[in-house]
Structure 1
Amino acid sequence: MWRVWEDLDGTQAEPSVPPTTGQGPESVFEFTVMSYNILAQYLLEGHPELYIHCSDKVLVWSTRLKGIIQEIKTWRPDILCLQEAQEIHFQKQLQPVLSDLGYTCVYKRRTGSKTDGCAVCYQHSRFFQLSVSLLELRREGCELLDRDNVAIVLLLQPVTSQSPDQTGTPICVATTHLLFNPRRGDIKLAQLVMVLAEVDNVVRRCKAIGRECEVVLCGDFNSFPNMPLYQFIKTGQLYYHGLPTWMISGQEDLSHQTHPRRVYAPLLPSSLGINDNCQYVTAKQTESPPSGKLKYSQGFLLQLRYCPGACERPRDLALIPGVTDNTPDQHEKQPCTPTFSNTVCHCLNLSSAYSHFITGTDRQEVTTLHSNAGATVDYIFYSARTERIRGQTDKRLHGGLEQIGRLALLTEDDLWSLRGLPNEVFPSDHLSLLAKFKLRISPL
C-alpha cells in the first residue's frame, strides 16, 4: 500500500517538480514542506510495550534509518521539519546525508537529560536564512513550563529568479514537539503560547520594516483535531479558564473524574513577558497607568487606531492627496484582542493542510499508531490566503499561502493491514506529512 499525492488546484504537477515561475507582473514561488516525527530510538527501546505488534527486524535502528532516508529522498521536500531526532543519530548519520542532498540543517536538542530534539532543514538552493530562534520551553519559576520541550523558529527568504524589483515574501517556519502527557493540556497550552509569541515576534519584525511574512507551523502537537488546543491554533482564540486539563488536547477521556485538574487564569506569569495575545511585551508596555489627568495609557489609545469608528471617513473631511485619501484596512490592521477575559488569542490566521478525513469519505486519517491506538497528533498549519471584501462588489485575495497539494494520509485500518507502525514500508510510528504551497511574488 502506498500513499497518493492529492492535487488541490486541479493541476497534475508532481511535488518534486521544480516550481514554475511566471513572467507577468505577479509571479509564483512553489515549495513543499514535510513534517516528520521519526521516533527516537532510545524512546522506542524505553517503551517496548508500544511495539509488541512489530517484528524485531523493523525496530532495529539501522533498518529504520534506511527507511527514513528513503522517505526523504522519495519526496525531496524543500523544507523538512523533524521531531524526535536523536542527537547522535542526527549529527552522525542523518545530517551528513541531508547535506549531500542540498539541505542546510538547524537542530535543537531537548533540555535536561533528553537526547532527542527538533530539526529544520531547508534546500539552500531555494531559501536563505534571515534569522533563527532556538526556543527552550522550560522556564524556571513557572509551574506550567517545567518540561524539556523545545521549538525552532526560522525566517527563510525564498530564492527567486525574478528581476530586482520583485522579491518573495519571507516565510517564518516553526516546528515543535509539545508535551505528550494526555492529562496535562495546561502545559501544552502554555508551551504553544510561547511558540506563537516567538512566531508573532518574527512576523512583527518583518512588518516593522514594511514587509509581509507568511507562516508555516508544524510538528507533533500531541492533541486531537477539533479539541481546544487545535481550535485555538485555527480560530485564534481560546477561553481556557476552568477547562479540565485533559480536555485541552483530548487524548484521554477523564470525564468520569469528579474533581479533575483544571487550568485557571492567568495562564503565564507576567514576569515571562508574554501577554494574552501571544505577544512579547516590553518594559514600557507593562508600566503602570499614568496618574493625574492622563487617564489612558499610550498603548491603550494606540489600540483604537483601527477600531471600526476610526476607519469611517467623515463626510466633511477634505480630500488631500497623500494625507486623507488613505483609508486603513481594518481587516489587516486591527490588533488581536481577546473577546473575553481569561482568553488567549493570536492573529496568525492559520489553516490546517489536512482535513483529517480521507478525501471524499467519512473515514478518519491518522498520523501515528502504536499498540494501543491510532490518532492524529501531527499537523502542518499555514497562513492562508483570505478573501477581503471592500464595499459590496470589490473582492480580492489577500496575502497568505495557497495550498496546492498534499500527500494523503491513511486510516488506522489501512495501517493495521500493514501490521501497524513501524513496518517495512513506514519506519516510524508516525507518518510523514507533506504539503505543497504557492507563494505569490509581487513587484516591490
Structure 2
Amino acid sequence: PGKQICIVNTHLLYNRKREDVRLAQLQVLLAEINRVACKITNYPPVILCGDLNFTPSSKLYSFLSQGRLKYEHLDIKKLTNCGSQKIGKTFLPKELYISDSCQYLQELKRDNCIEEEFFSSGTLTHKFAFKSVYNSDEFPKVRLNSTCHNLVDYILYSNIDEKFNKHEKQELILLERLRLPTYKDCLKIGPLPNSQNGSDHYYLEARFRTMSLISKIFGGGKDKSPSAAEAIQKLKETELMLTKKQEFLKVKIEQELSTAKKNGTKNKRVALQALKRKKRYEKQLQQIDGTLSTIELQREALEGATSNTAVFQAMNEAAKSLKGVHQSL
C-alpha cells in the first residue's frame, strides 16, 4: 500500500532488417521512463512489458539487461559486425535532446552532469538493470515461445542499478510467473490464432511484491533483499529477546504482588498502585506470549517454505509481527 511502480507497455517495430529502428525506439522509451520516474520522490521500480520483436540472443536484449551497447561500427540494419553500412559515432541526432545515456537534456541539466561525451559517444548506456521474468539462463536449455515461432514478448523489471541510483532503493521481488509453452508445446497447440487462442501471441503473466517493509524490519545487504535465512535468524533473536522480557515481567509481577500484600492494610494507596502496575505487567506478558507463538509459527513456516511465494508471505507476516513488537516495546 502506498508504494509506486512505473509500468511501461510498448510494441516495437516488426522488421527483421531494421534493428536500428528498434534501438532508436528503445532509446526514446528509456528516456521517457527516466523522465516520468524522476518526478517521483523515491525512484520507483520499473516494469517494462510488451512485444519487443527481438529474441534473447539479440544485442537489443543484451542492451536492456546489461545497460550498455557499443553501436559504433555495427551494421545499421542488423546491429552485427557484418555488413557494408556501418553506424558512426552519432546514433540519434542531437536535435532530439536525448543523450547516449538515454536521458533527456533537461534531466542531465538537473543532475549537473552534462558533458560532451554524453552525445555522439558511439556507445549507449542506461541506468536500468532489467531482469526478465523468464530467465535468460533457460533459453539455451529450453526453447520458450511467446508466438508460434520464437520468444519476442517480455516482462522485464528493474530496481535501478545501484551505481546510478541516488534515491532510496525499493526492491521489486518476482513471486511467480505463468509458464510459457516450449517449442514442442507449440507444435501440439498448432498455428495461432485458433479456436482456443484468439491472438497470434501467448499471454505472459507474473506476480510481484515490493520488499520495503521486509527490508526495513529484517535489513539485508546493500545490493540485495534479506534472505530467508537472515529473516529466520532475526526471528530467533527476537524470540530470545522476548523470552528475556517475559522473565523480567514475571519477576516484576511477583514484586508488585508482594508490595500489595505488605501494604494491604497499612497503606492501601501504595497497595492499589502496586496492583495497577501488576495488571499492566500482566497485560504486557500476555501480549508477548501471543507474539512469541505467532513468531514461532512464522519461523517454522519460513523454515519449511519451498517456493518464492511461500517465503515472501511468511517473511511479510513475520515483518508485520516484528513491526508491532518494535512499536509496543
The match for 2:65 is: 234
User: What is the TM-score of this pair, normalised by structure 2?
Assistant: 0.56
Check 1:183–1:261 CA distance in 2 against 1; reply closer, same or farther (3 A cut).
farther
Native 8 Å contact 1:183 1:245 kept in 2: no
Change in CA separation of 1:231 and 1:409 when aligned onto 2, cut-off 3 Å: same
- Mapped contact 2:48–2:155 kept (Cα < 8 A): yes
Residue equivalent to 2:173: 402
Among residues 346, 364, 367, which one is paired with 2:143 in the alignment? 364
Does residue 279 of the first structure (1) align with residue 50 of the second (2)?
no
Question: What is the alpha-carbon root mean square deviation over aligned residues?
Answer: 3.3
Q: Deviations over 1:353-397 (max 9, x none)?
A: 1125769x922101112xxxx011111110148899xxxxxxxx9
Give the partner amino acid of 2:175: I
Contact residue 358 and residue 410 of structure 1 kept, 8 A: no
Percent of paired sites with the same residue? 32
Partner residue, 2:90: 266
* Residues 384/346 of structure 1: CA separation in 2 closer, same or farther (3 Å cut): same
Matched letter for residue 280 of structure 1: Y
Structural mapping, 1:215-226, within 5 Å? 215-226=46-57
Contact 1:385/1:402 (8 A) holds in 2: no
Higher CA-based Rg: 2
Partner of 1:315: none
**CA spacing shift, 1:244–1:435, aligned 2, 3 Å:** same
> What residue is the counterpart of 2:36 in the other structure?
202
Q: Does the aligned pair in 2 maintain the 1:186–1:263 contact within 8 Å?
A: no
> Which residue number in structure 1 is paired with residue 313 of structure 2?
none
Q: What is the aligned partner in structure 1 of residue 223 from structure 2?
A: none
- Which amino acid is the alignment partner of residue 100 of structure 2? D
TM-aligned CA deviation for residue 440 of structure 1: 2.7
Deviation readout 1:245-301 (Å, 9 max, x if unpaired): 4434x9xxx96xxx4443333111111011011101039949xxxxxxxxxxx935x
Equivalent residue number for residue 25 of structure 2? 191
Structure 1 residues 384 and 404: CA distance shift in structure 2, 3 A: farther
**Deviation, structure 1 residue 202:** 1.4
Greater share of residues in helix: 2
Using a 3 Å threshold, how does the CA distance of structure 1 residues 425 and 260 change in structure 2: closer, same or farther? farther
Paired letter, 1:368: T
Distance 1:385 1:275 in 2: 18
Question: How far apart are the structure 1 equivalents of 2:212 and 2:150?
Answer: 37
Distance in 1, matches of 2:147 and 2:172, equals 27
**Match of 2:211, SS?**
strand
Determine the structure 2 residue equivalent to 1:416.
187
| 1:275 aligned partner, one-letter code | S
Please give the secondary structure, in 2, of the residue aligned with 1:375.
coil
Alpha carbons of structure 1 residues 378 and 260: separation in structure 2 relative to 1, 3 Å: farther
Judging changes above 3 Å, is the alpha-carbon distance between structure 1 residues 387 and 198 closer, same or farther for their aligned structure 2 residues?
closer
Q: 1:376 aligns with which of 138, 151, 156?
A: 151
1:437 to 2:208 alignment: yes
Structure scoring higher RCO (CA < 8 A, sep ≥ 6) equals 1
2:68–2:124 CA contact under 8 A, matched in 1: yes
1:231–1:428 distance in 2 versus 1, CA, 3 Å: same
Give the equivalent residue in structure 2 for 1:299: 112
2:122 aligned with 1:342, yes or no? yes
The CA deviation at 1:438 is 0.9
CA contact (8 A) 1:218 1:380 kept: yes
Deviations 1:188-230 (A, max 9, x none): 1001100000001112121xxx323110111111111031100
Distance 1:414 1:275, change over 3 A: same
Tell me if the contact between 1:385 and 1:401 (Cα under 8 Å) persists in the aligned partners: no
Q: Is the Cα contact below 8 Å between 1:356 and 1:366 reproduced in 2?
A: no
Contact 2:128–2:159 under 8 Å retained in 1:
no
SS of structure 2 residue aligned to 1:405:
strand
- Given the superposition, is the C-alpha separation of residues 176 and 279 from structure 1 closer, same or farther in structure 2, using an over 3 Å criterion? same
Q: Is the 8 A contact 2:171 2:212 kept in 1?
A: no
Query: How far apart, in 2, do the equivalents of 1:365 and 1:228 lie?
Result: 19
Distance 2:171 2:86 in 1: 36
In structure 1, the gaps of 5 or more residues are 1-159, 161-166, 287-297, 304-336, 389-396
Task: Calculate the TM-score normalised by the size of structure 1.
Answer: 0.42
| Aligned equivalents of 2:16, 2:5: Cα separation in 1 | 32
> Is the Cα contact below 8 Å between 2:128 and 2:160 reproduced in 1?
no
State the Cα distance separating 1:426 from its structure 2 match.
Answer: 1.9
Instruction: Give the conservation status (yes or no) of the 8 Å contact 2:53–2:153.
Output: yes
Aligned residue number for residue 174 of structure 1: 8
Structure 1 CA distance for aligned equivalents of residues 147 and 84 of structure 2: 27
